[in-house]
């Protein structure tokens, strides 16, 4: 029997990252530098808060918008860290940033609306846009050292452009957008009636002073902030994040959430209140050490890479080997038992890069990159 499926969903592709990670799982004793997942377990006080919440029987249906107390905690956090004041109806608790991005796009996109994405790009934006029958429009940032260029964006804006997605620190490059890049976006917002989705999931994982788009309150009504507790607090499996935006967008996003998932478990939300008050300096220092150690190995072996200033990835140029990034990664896995992500997954123009996750143990990061040096220089 032919199973007749929704064509729109059928055409969505599986995440290349998950596919490659699954390929790596077939091997034993592999150093996994693939997925962007902290090696840490969730800090104890956060777990304790969840247990206490369960003991208090916070096991009933949550409100679709999110718990009042967590929303207040988020509002306090955003004011303290980013200097922006949100009202209660400008915040929605979501299932990770994934839920925030998906409901935000659903709230603003009509079929054929265009969304500008900067390549190389995080892989989940395009399928979400296409799910809503929107059209992703790609702007390559490679010639501009992965920063943003006014003319490159401007020439891609049409009457159908609805939004731009900005992700800084960036996955996969680790680049933080400079003041000039942020000004480019602000100039575009001054000239066009668009939204900017600021996907700031790595905002706490920065290794230098950084400013973010959502901190400029002049653009508050046009900015849609998507945030996550996954990366800074080692809570990837908890599935909690949030969306801050104009109240009409939040209202609409809440409707999608209501019918798709009916919200986030209350005991997870209770624990998230504790997470937002947890100091993550130690974990950030750990990733920075991984960054520094890996950079030092690459530099001393003259291997080109993009210097990461935030997040926990490093984008390494493997062009000297003369293989495309998928073949390179497959062969590297096969011969040296190290799993990395082929750059082509993030953009066809990144087919001479690999993304190495620095969220693994310090030993694995260093050993993985030492083996990379051997592979690049043709030794076994």
Which stretch, 21-29, 109-117, 228-236, 333-341, contacts ligand PLP (CB under 6 A)? Answer: 228-236
Written as six digits, the tokens of 47 are 């777990």
We find the least distance from the C-beta atom of residue 248 to ligand PLP, in angstroms, to be: 23
CB of 216 to ligand PLP, least distance (A): 20
Q: Name which position in 24, 31, 32, 36 contacts ligand PLP (CB under 6 A).
A: 36
Q: Which residue is listed with tokens 């905002």? A: 203
Give the interface segment with ligand PLP, choosing from 95-103, 157-165, 245-253, 284-292 (CB under 6 A): 95-103
Alpha carbon distance, N-terminus to C-terminus of the chain: 50
In sequence order, which residues have a C-beta less than 8 Å from that of residue 95 and are 6 or more positions away? Answer: 239, 240, 241, 261, 264
CB 370 to ligand PLP: min, Å: 26
Among 82, 103, 228, 252, binds ligand PLP (CB under 6 A): 228
Size, binding site for ligand PLP by CB under 6 A:
13
Q: How far is the CB of 321 from ligand PLP (least distance, A)?
A: 26
Q: Binding to ligand PLP by residue 97, rule CB under 6 A? A: yes
Q: CB 7 → ligand PLP: shortest distance, Å?
A: 26
Closer by beta carbon to ligand PLP, 66 or else 241: 241
Q: Can you tell me the distance from the alpha carbon of 69 to that of 86, in angstroms, rounded to the nearest whole number?
A: 14
Contact 92, 103 (CB under 8 A): yes
Within residues 170-199, the interface with ligand PLP by CB under 6 A covers 171, 199
Q: How many residues are recorded in the chain? A: 380
Phi, psi of 252 (to 5 degrees): -70, -45
Q: How many other β-carbons are positioned within 10 Å of the β-carbon of residue 5?
A: 9
Q: How many helices (H) and strands (E) does the chain have?
A: 13, 13
- Restricted to residues 99-128, the positions that interact with ligand PLP (CB under 6 A) are 122
Residue 269's nearest CA partner among 88, 76, 85, 64 is 64
Binding to ligand PLP (CB under 6 A): which residues in 238-277? 241
Considering the complex, what minimum distance in angstroms separates the CB of residue 167 from ligand PLP?
Answer: 5
Backbone angles phi, psi at 271, to 5 degrees: -65, -30
Closer by beta carbon to ligand PLP, 343 or else 375: 343
Residue 340 in contact with residue 35, Cβ under 8 Å?
no
Which positions lie near ligand PLP, rule CB under 6 A? 36, 96-98, 122, 167, 171, 199, 201, 228, 230, 236, 241
């Amino acid at each position: 029997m032919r199973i007749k499926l929704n064509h729109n969903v059928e055409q969505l592709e599986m995440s290349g990252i998950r596919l490659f990670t699954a390929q790596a799982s077939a091997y034993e004793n592999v150093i996994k530098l693939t997925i962007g997942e902290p090696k840490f377990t969730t800090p104890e006080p956060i777990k304790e808060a969840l247990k206490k919440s369960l003991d208090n029987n916070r096991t009933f249906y949550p409100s679709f918008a999110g718990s009042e107390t967590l929303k207040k905690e988020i509002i306090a956090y955003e004011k303290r860290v980013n200097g922006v004041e949100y009202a209660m109806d400008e915040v929605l608790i979501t299932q990770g940033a994934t839920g925030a991005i998906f409901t935000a796009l659903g709230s603003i996109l009509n079929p054929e609306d265009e969304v500008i994405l900067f390549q190389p790009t995080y892989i989940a934006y395009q399928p979400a846009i296409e799910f809503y029958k929107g059209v992703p429009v790609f702007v390559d940032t490679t010639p501009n050292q992965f920063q943003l260029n006014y003319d490159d964006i401007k020439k891609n804006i049409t009457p159908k452009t609805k939004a731009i997605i900005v992700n800084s620190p960036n996955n996969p490059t680790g680049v933080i957008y400079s003041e000039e890049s942020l000004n480019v976006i602000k100039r575009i917002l001054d000239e066009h009636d668009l939204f900017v989705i600021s996907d700031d999931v790595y905002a706490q994982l920065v290794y230098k002073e950084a400013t973010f788009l959502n901190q400029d309150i002049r653009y508050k009504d046009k900015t849609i902030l998507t945030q996550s507790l996954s990366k800074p607090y080692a809570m990837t499996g908890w599935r909690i994040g949030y969306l801050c935006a104009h109240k009409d967008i939040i209202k609409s996003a809440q409707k999608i959430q209501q019918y798709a998932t009916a919200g986030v478990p209350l005991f997870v939300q209770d624990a998230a209140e504790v997470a937002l008050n947890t100091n993550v300096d130690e974990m950030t220092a750990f990733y920075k050490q991984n960054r520094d150690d890996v950079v030092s190995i690459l530099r001393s072996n003259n291997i080109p890479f993009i210097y990461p200033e935030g997040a926990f990835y490093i984008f390494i140029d493997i062009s000297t080997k003369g293989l495309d990034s998928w073949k390179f990664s497959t062969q590297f896995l096969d011969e040296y038992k190290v799993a990395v992500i082929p750059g082509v997954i993030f953009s066809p123009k990144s087919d001479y890069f690999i993304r190495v996750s620095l969220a693994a143990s310090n030993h694995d990061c260093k050993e993985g990159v030492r083996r990379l040096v051997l592979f690049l220089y043709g030794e076994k």
